[in-house]
Amino acid sequence: MKNATETVELPEHYPVSLKVNGQAYNLKLQPWVSLLDALRDHLQLKGTKKGCDHGQCGACTVLVNGKRINSCLTMAVMKDGEEITTIEGLAKGDELHPLQKAFIEHDAFQCGYCTPGQICSAVGLLNEGKANSLEEVKELMSGNICRCGAYTHINSAIMQVKGETGNE
Amino acid sequence: MKTNYTGQPANRVDGSLKVTGTAKYAAEFEAEGLLFGYIINSTIAKGKIKEIDISQAMQVAGVVQIFTHENVSGLAWFNKSYKDMDSPPGDPFRPLYDHKIRYSMQPIGLVVATTFEVARFAASLIKVTYKEEKLVTNLQDNLHRSKKAPMGKVGYVQPKSRGDAESVFAKAEYKIEGEYVHAAEHHNPLEMFATTAIWEEDGKVTLYDKTQGVSNVQLYISNIFGLSLKNVRVVSPFVGGGFGSGLRPQYQVFMATLAALELRRPVRVVMTRQQMFSFGHRPGTVQRVAMSADENGKLTSIQHEAYGETSQFEDYTEIVVNWSGTMYNCENVKLKYELVKLDVATPTDMRAPGAVTSAHAFESAIDEIAYAVKIDPLEFRKINYAEDDQVEGKPYSSKELRACYDQGAAKFGWSGRSIEPRSMREGNQLIGWGMANGAWDALQMPAKAQAVLSLDGKLTVSSGTSEIGTGTYTIMTQIAAETLGMDINDVTFKLGDTLMPMAPLQGGSWTAASVGSAVKAVCEEVKAKLFKLASKTKHSPLSGAAPKELTMAEGHIFLISDPGSRLSIIEVMRLTETDSIIESGMSGPDPAAKTTHSFNSHAAVFAEVKVDEDLGTVIVTRVVCAVAAGKILNPKTAGSQILGSVVWGISKALEEETVMDNNFGRFMNHNLGEYHVAVNKDINDIDIIFVEEHDDLVNPLGIKGVGEIGIIAVAPAIANAVFHATGVRVRDLPITMDKVLQLAEEDKNQVRV
Amino acid sequence: MNSFSYHRAAHPVEAVKDVNNQSDAKFVAGGTNLFDLMKLNIEKPSHLTDINRLDLGKIEVLPNNGLRLGALVTNAATAWNKDVEENYPLLSQAILAGASPQLRNMATNGGNTLQRTRCYYFYDLATPCNKREPGTGCSAINGFNRIHAILGTSETCIATHPSDMCVALMALDAKVNVTGVNGERTIDFADFHRLPGDTPHLDNHLEHGDLITSIDLPADHFKTNVAYLKLRDRQSYAFALVSVAAALKMEGNVIQDVSVALGGVAHKPWRDRQAEEQLKGQSATAAGFREFAETVLSGARGFGHNTFKIELAKRAIVRALTMALKNESTILSDLSKA
Ligand SMILES: Cc1cc2nc3c(=O)[nH]c(=O)nc-3n(C[C@H](O)[C@H](O)[C@H](O)COP(=O)(O)OP(=O)(O)OC[C@H]3O[C@@H](n4cnc5c(N)ncnc54)[C@H](O)[C@@H]3O)c2cc1C
Ligand code: SF4
Ligand code: FES
Ligand code: FES
């Protein structure tokens, strides 16, 4: 096994405060920890998925101050003091978020692995208020890959909720 | 009462777990003191490792151990011990076994550390020196080295020729021929391969693994590490997509188990997305198809040969050309399928293996010959329609392909098509309509299930199958509830655990039929037991009733002749002082049926494309996919399966290819940024039709499976539509703008595998 | 990823100093390119200076009526800024053609200009690459080069600059404002990026520790008759094989002014001012556009897989100019409607 004579230096730990789904967390993290890994491995919020770790799939989408981002491509320390919403924070108690309900109703997933990212992305999309048609929903949901190919059902779920909530 | 039994579009029973992020995948199980593994892979394709210098990496605080072939020992030495249930003939790859490099990105080491980041950092400090050898990865340049594909892989059957296709072709007036090249493709399920291995004091190990078959992983790990089966438990409640990639155990499960056993600690190993390109893939292929027909459009000869790549150490086979002998009536058929060994990882089954490869070439050729004799391509297919299996000389248990043609064509509006290429346009956009059809085996495998009915009237059924997104949880729950006439909410189905009764690998679209039949069988046992108990009840309306006088519905057992005479399940159990009913059941294919009939599902696909005349961009604007697959257990989940297959077909036709650099023998676009799969914007209208198909020969449930049939005919339908739009037949997939514009340069140096 | 230290800067001068303290320190803004490359050990900074808290997050109208885009404004906020949408629609279109909504919410204007090439070999430590490791050779020239450059290449590197935003900035004659150890300076966008020459490891003309503070757009510049056309291997979320930012100033059917920049074809956004001069004063015709395209591509050279780009780029220029004439965009509506 190893001899512990000289060790290679590791990054320092920095204090990081995150407000996740309304709850405040004070962490000490090395800067090389991505926001995604901080959520999954340090806060045990595993609803946010890792599909590529390189910004190429959207599975890790969360909302930071209401805006959707890829949590794999930001360091957690950079988000010190920010408000983060993950899939775990969308339902109100047992009452699912309208998008969560619509995803079930429209069978907008198969394996379910892209689903938390799709739903958070759709929340971000509705917050943005830039998608005015199905065509625009498709373009503005293209940052979330669904390898199972549930796109048309995802879009009908989003269109339904968009219709219900009106133009925000 | 809305029963939500089979045939009903019930919502997924696991839906709320999936939309709330609480469904747990392999990398999401926790344990005290969990360690993290990071795999390192070879940078060369062929040669030997001269040295792996881990000294610097070992100095990193938090690194617990680094495993390489130099320090791993005590494993099974016999290479056949590494075989799994889905191994093709040959000697399976043995991770960390020796210093030999057999393909680029072969795993060569594992760093285990207290955090993921430390393990990844330490991995970057490992210095590997190699002695490189000359490599061969170019399929097209090596067709002369092809050899006959051996038997041995489950399901592989050698193609059978008939008649004298060559001489008929030579003399024919109407004939066409063409060569089709497909690059390798990678499954890329969205969840990356992962294992959380939990070592237990008593020497047992529990593996939370991403797999399409927990029993297969159990067998594989127990053989390699010399553990008894009962000491290896494999658990996999949710799988973030498989598409075939999880049929064989992948190397991360080996790595995680090795580390957990050696270090006696829990270890999690997750592949990177780049590593998702470092094992089995859909093989690159070269196909040649030649056909002739008479002036009435009757096929007079078919020749189809295919060359598939395989690794140097295993002979991966798939059924490519055989389909061409069964699809149409034709007396003269010559088929050939051979393999070329290259310095690549062994290919692996990928959604509709073989059939999807074959159909693109063969159904493009059918379109081409129909054009040669100037007959509408759909009409041409009807003229040559095969009622019976042309190879086996047996009738199909059912074949409603004609209904697929008719309903699909009607929905699509096919009759409004003008046959001439380049005859439909909107501004710069040339519009094309194409169609194709496909078939897939309707298979059933032996499977077991267990059912436990408890005193509160709740039923739990279990079987060690998996849920890769196909809706297994849901349809099994529906089957069980229906068989026992129970409320669907009183039934729970459990899967993905080697402690449960064994189920086959989840592949080949046979899970619904195999596990579904076992679930039905075990629930029938429970029912029989309940009837027996009901009849034993004293002073009840059912006392002494014979089983054939009884039936079940709404959680009650009652007399068929007098539905008012009834007892609830709970009452029966209470009155007979029964705490619980536990039954085991199994089911398997009927061997007799196989001798008299052939079993296939069928589909016809119609596609519309818009091709920019100047820029060559292709958009698939509409697809209609009409499927004949027996009884549909749940139109919602089955519809999603077909929908996903159509998306796969579009993705295959237009986007997917793993590009091999033959200088390095390495796949270069090994990430999801450059390996393109369809995104939301790529997908437009998709209509799915399930035609009525009654089949009581195929299995007791009358179902054929829907996992693969939807993809098979999509790429050729699109390719044919592109031809109709542009007059250009793009024979190599994917159909990219450079090929449509015929600007792609034939490049001898760098042809794709 | 290597081990590194981290500091969150509060002021530009402090940030510049912090990076200058160590030869391999870097700024981090959105992190979408840097953090990606660090995970692959392609970038290995010993220190990161987080500039996200600097006061560079505004879009302001300049006294000369031009527009100043703060370096830290996200790509999304820029594309959807009212002034940008109204007065520089070409920039909005180009930004929205790139990456994904999530990435655009993270990516900053400063970071976007400095994103590195997407060359497969640059991204894979297993293969030689002069850009990553000068002197090791270029694997792409004799390798798989479908996504590579056809203009301004050198024997040492044929990589492209992958940005969409920069193609529009080039067409719009933007200027980059920089603060460095030696004070502030402004760089014309045309002089910002480099061609590979024999220094392929250098992407641009910034010096170590130079901080981009903002990007300026000239006043009243191509507000109408613009189009951004992006050709790629899928409909969204893919880098350009060829892209064109086309801008016209018309009087009747006569071209008063024209600006055309190409993406996906060179180590920097490509523009041919001489060819543009020739087009000015002519009336807008398909033949004239094609002739212009021929001139722009006259020096192009293909390397096998990417040779198709030469003809494709010509056609894309013609189409983009035709679209600009009609003021059509393809980003939020599909190409089939163009
Ligand atoms: C999957 C994927 C797809 C993409 N597709 C596209 C696409 O289609 N089109 C496109 O244009 N882009 C695309 N991008 C790239 C994306 O636009 C860039 O990554 C992004 O713009 C970089 O900005 P950033 O703020 O995140 O930069 P960072 O990653 O933070 O920084 C990048 C570099 O710039 C330096 N830097 C940042 N800000 C400053 C500053 N103010 N002064 C000096 N130096 C600075 C950093 O030190 C670093 O070297 C894609 C990215 C991904 C991951
Ligand atoms: S093209 Fe440039 S970036 Fe790509 S391998 Fe060659 S030197 Fe490296
Ligand atoms: S995991 Fe972040 S985009 Fe894929
Ligand atoms: S549901 Fe499987 S990837 Fe979207």
Which ligand 1 atom sits nearest the alpha carbon of residue C72? 41
Q: How confident is the model at residue B747 (pLDDT cuts 50, 70, 90)?
A: very low
Contact B19 A115 (CB under 8 A): yes
Q: Residue A168 has what pLDDT? A: 42
C99: contact with A, CB 8 A cutoff: yes
Q: Which residues of C touch B676 (CB under 8 A)?
A: 233-234, 238
- Residue in A49, A52, A87, A113 to alter for ligand 4 test, most ligand atoms within 8 A of Cβ: A113
Judge if B269 and B347 occupy the same domain.
no
Q: Calculate how close chain B gets to A30, using CA atoms only, in Å.
A: 9
Distance CA A123, CA B240 (A): 22
Residue-wise pLDDT for C257-297, tens only, equals 999 999 999 999 999 999 999 999 999 999 999 999 999 99
Distance CA C227, CA A100 (A): 38
Judge if B331 and B465 occupy the same domain.
no
The residue in chain C having the minimum alpha-carbon distance to the alpha carbon of residue B650 is: C234
The answer to whether residues B244 and B13 touch, using CB atoms and an 8 Å cutoff, is: no
Mean pLDDT of C81-86: 97
Q: Residue B746 has what pLDDT? A: 55
Q: Residue B745 has what pLDDT? A: 66
**Interacting residues of C70 by C-beta distance below 8 A, sequence separation 6+:** C56, C57, C58, C59, C60, C109, C213, C214
- What token pair was written down for B533? 């108990």
- What token pair was written down for A73? 């491509």
CATH code of the domain covering residue B468: 3.30.365.10
Distance CA B344, CA C244 (A): 39
Contact C311 B124 (CB under 8 A): no
Distance CA B123, CA B274 (A): 15
Give chain C's mean pLDDT. 96
Q: Which residues of C touch B121 (CB under 8 A)?
A: 1-3
Contact A78 C50 (CB under 8 A): yes
Judge if B449 and B519 occupy the same domain.
yes
CA of B182 to the centre of ligand 3 (A): 28
Range of the domain at B458: 15-21+444-588
Mean pLDDT of C111-125: 98
Judge if B170 and B305 occupy the same domain.
yes
Judge if B458 and B412 occupy the same domain.
no
Q: How confident is the model at residue B450 (pLDDT cuts 50, 70, 90)?
A: very high
Q: Which of B547, B568, B588 is the last residue of a domain?
A: B588
Give φ, ψ of B607 to 5 degrees.
Answer: -135, 145
Q: Within 10 A of C53 (CB to CB), how many other CB atoms are there?
A: 16
Distances (CA, A) of C303 to B461, C147, C150, C155, C197: 61, 10, 8, 11, 17
Q: How confident is the model at residue A1 (pLDDT cuts 50, 70, 90)?
A: very low
Judge if B237 and B169 occupy the same domain.
no
Q: Residue C259 has what pLDDT? A: 98
Q: Residue C331 has what pLDDT? A: 53
Mean pLDDT of C207-232: 96
Q: How many domains does chain B have?
A: 3
Judge if B303 and B448 occupy the same domain.
no
Contact C32 A73 (CB under 8 A): yes
Residues in chain C: 338
Q: Residue C28 has what pLDDT? A: 98
Best residue in C141, C234, C331 for a mutation probing chain B (most B CBs within 10 Å): C234
B467 is catalytic: no
Better-scored residue on pLDDT, C330 or B382: B382
Distance CA B632, CA B7 (A): 6
Mean pLDDT of A99-116: 98
- What token pair was written down for B676? 């393109």
% of chain B surpassing 70 pLDDT: 99
Q: Which of B534, B557, B588 is the last residue of a domain?
A: B588
Give φ, ψ of B118 to 5 degrees.
Answer: -65, -45
Judge if B173 and B322 occupy the same domain.
yes
The answer to whether residues B493 and B477 touch, using CB atoms and an 8 Å cutoff, is: yes
Q: Ligand 4 pocket, A147 CB below 6 A?
A: yes
Q: Tell me which fold the domain A14-89 belongs to.
A: Ubiquitin-like (UB roll) (3.10.20)
Contact B429 C234 (CB under 8 A): no
Q: Which residues of A touch C332 (CB under 8 A)?
A: 135-136, 139
Q: Which of B538, B572, B588 is the last residue of a domain?
A: B588
What is the Cα B574 distance to its own chain's centre?
A: 45
Q: Tell me which fold the domain A98-164 belongs to.
A: DNA polymerase; domain 1 (1.10.150)
Kindly tell me if the per-residue pLDDT of C73 is higher than 90: yes
Judge if B125 and B259 occupy the same domain.
yes
Q: Nearest to residue A69, comparing CAs of C79, C57, C105?
A: C105
**Interacting residues of B300 by C-beta distance below 8 A, sequence separation 6+:** B168, B169, B172, B292, B293, B294, B330, B331, B332
Judge if B455 and B422 occupy the same domain.
no
CA of A115 to the centre of ligand 4 (A): 6
Chains that touch B (3 or more CB pairs under 8 A): A, C
Q: Nearest to residue A43, comparing CAs of A75, A69, A21, A72?
A: A21
Contact A8 B59 (CB under 8 A): yes
Distance CA A155, CA B681 (A): 10
Contact B643 A7 (CB under 8 A): no
The answer to whether residues B251 and B200 touch, using CB atoms and an 8 Å cutoff, is: no
The answer to whether residues A50 and A72 touch, using CB atoms and an 8 Å cutoff, is: yes
Give φ, ψ of B302 to 5 degrees.
Answer: -135, 130
Which ligand 1 atom sits nearest the alpha carbon of residue C27? 47
Judge if B84 and B153 occupy the same domain.
no
Which ligand 2 atom sits nearest the alpha carbon of residue C143? 5
Kindly tell me if the per-residue pLDDT of B751 is higher than 70: no
Question: For residue B38, is it within any domain?
Answer: yes
Residue ranges of chain A assigned to CATH 1.10.150.120: 98-164
What predicted TM-score, i.e. pTM, was given to this entire model?
A: 0.97
Q: Which residues of B touch C127 (CB under 8 A)?
A: 661, 664, 666, 668
Judge if B288 and B388 occupy the same domain.
yes
Q: Nearest to residue B359, comparing CAs of B285, B470, B281?
A: B285
Contact C102 A135 (CB under 8 A): no
Residues on A contacting C at a C-beta cutoff of 8 Å:
8-12, 14, 31-32, 34, 53-55, 58, 61, 67-70, 73-75, 77-78, 80, 121, 124-125, 128, 130, 135-136, 138-145
Q: Look at the alpha carbons of C257, C259, C260, C266 in this order and tell me if their dihedral is positive or negative.
A: positive
**Interacting residues of C133 by C-beta distance below 8 A, sequence separation 6+:** none
Considering every ligand atom, which ligand is closest to the CA of C128? Answer: 2
Q: Which residues of A touch B190 (CB under 8 A)?
A: 49, 51, 57, 59, 111, 113-114, 145-148
CA atoms within 13 A on the CB side of B37: 34
For residue B387, the 8-state DSSP code is: S
Q: Ligand 4 pocket, A54 CB below 6 A?
A: no
Q: Ligand 3 pocket, A53 CB below 6 A?
A: yes
Q: Count H helices, E strands: chain C?
A: 11, 12
Distance CA C156, CA C198 (A): 6
What is the interface pTM, i.e. ipTM, of the complex? 0.96
Of A9, A31, A144, which has the smallest distance from its Cβ to C48's Cβ? A31
Which residue owns the Cα nearest ligand 4 atom 4? A146
The answer to whether residues B493 and B634 touch, using CB atoms and an 8 Å cutoff, is: no
Question: For residue B569, is it within any domain?
Answer: yes
Mutual angle of helices A151-165 and B635-654, in 10-degree steps: 110
Q: Ligand 4 pocket, A114 CB below 6 A?
A: yes
Question: For residue B42, is it within any domain?
Answer: yes
Q: Is A2 exposed, middle or buried (0-12, 13-18, 19+ CB in 10 A)?
A: middle
Q: Within 10 A of C137 (CB to CB), how many other CB atoms are there?
A: 14
Domains defined along chain C, listed by start: 5-53 (3.30.43.10), 225-337 (3.30.390.50)
